[in-house]
């Protein structure tokens, strides 16, 4: 089974990618989307989203990271993809799934799922602009308001030269509301010869196994479920190998990773962002860990960086005595 770590704007940035890939079980990551408008971005922008480009396009744990681009103009997307390719990414992924109104209003993200012919032109432009050895993949939703064009959109991505397709099994109109409609994915798999990766609402090992059965996909992309339970990929692998429960990550196992995350946040992010990023992660982890609930409740009103640092250090000491 192949397990990918999803791109999630404002959540799964390079800091959290680094920490989650240290926990283990992930085969490949995809960056937050880099928005392409009408300008040629300087290298520093690509490096800000993907500092892993300085390390062979891999996290410090050695997991490859593919860069994701979002835009609607084939010429601008191609020019920026070419510049990005010169920095040595593991590959380039194209976003046809973002449901944000500001993105869709400008014809990007999921809005393109209404026009398969434009999808084909955009993918083809990027594919022509980058070296042949560089993978160009795509991520889509089932559609914009409905799934009526999902096969045509997938076929457009294949026709444009995409080598892999991730399907977030909801429409733009569905947003992030459960459920994910994994049962729609086999129709997409039947319409293309590309490898298809299933994504959406995989919060547990049981979800992963059911998604694989329903979708027919041997490759899964984990998003919020992996953030809430950083040991999810490892647990899925253990169960897939017939060893359920043999690689379970407990709260105490995560404390060094929480400390590493806080250190990286303090080193790499603006002061105004730091406390919020830790609270954001703990807020998700309390779905999986009772200790995460207690930690979130303790830190949710804190804003002082030094006080949070003292608390993180004390948290480790209390669980490691």
Q: Which residues are catalytically annotated?
A: 98
CA atoms within 13 A on the CB side of 52: 29
CB 305 within 8 A of CB 273: no
Phi/psi zone of residue 198: left (φ > 0), alpha (ψ -120 to 50 degrees), beta?
Answer: beta
Rounded distance, CA 165 to CA 94, Å?
10
Q: Which has the closest alpha carbon to 311: 319, 303, 321, 299?
A: 299
């Amino acid at each position: 089974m192949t397990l990918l770590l999803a791109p999630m704007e404002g959540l799964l940035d390079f800091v959290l990618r680094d920490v989650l890939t240290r926990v283990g079980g992930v085969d490949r990551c995809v960056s937050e989307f880099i928005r392409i408008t009408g300008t040629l971005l300087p290298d520093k922008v690509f490096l800000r989203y993907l500092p892993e480009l300085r390390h062979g396009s891999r996290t410090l744990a050695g997991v490859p990271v593919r860069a994701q681009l979002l835009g609607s103009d084939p010429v601008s997307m191609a020019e920026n993809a070419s510049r990005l390719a010169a920095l040595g990414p593991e590959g380039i992924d194209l976003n046809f799934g973002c449901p944000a109104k500001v993105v869709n209003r400008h014809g990007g993200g999921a809005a393109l799922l209404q026009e398969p012919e434009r999808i084909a032109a955009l993918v083809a432009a990027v594919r022509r602009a980058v070296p042949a050895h560089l993978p160009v993949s795509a991520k889509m939703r089932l559609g914009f308001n409905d799934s009526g064009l999902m096969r045509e959109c997938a076929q457009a991505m294949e026709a444009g030269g995409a080598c892999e397709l991730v399907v977030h099994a909801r429409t733009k109109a569905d947003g992030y509301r459960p459920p994910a409609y994994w049962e729609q994915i086999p129709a997409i798999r039947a319409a293309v010869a590309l490898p298809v990766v299933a994504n959406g609402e995989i919060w547990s090992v049981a979800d992963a196994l059911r998604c694989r059965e329903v979708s027919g996909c041997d490759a899964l992309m984990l998003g919020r479920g992996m953030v809430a339970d950083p040991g999810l990929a490892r647990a899925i692998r253990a169960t897939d190998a017939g060893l359920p429960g043999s690689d379970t990550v407990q709260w105490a196992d995560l404390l060094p990773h929480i400390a590493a995350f806080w250190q990286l946040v303090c080193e790499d992010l603006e002061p105004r962002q730091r406390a919020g990023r830790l609270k954001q992660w703990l807020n998700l982890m309390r779905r999986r860990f009772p200790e995460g609930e207690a930690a979130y409740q303790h830190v949710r009103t804190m804003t002082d960086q030094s006080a949070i640092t003292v608390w993180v250090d004390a948290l480790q000491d209390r669980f490691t005595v």
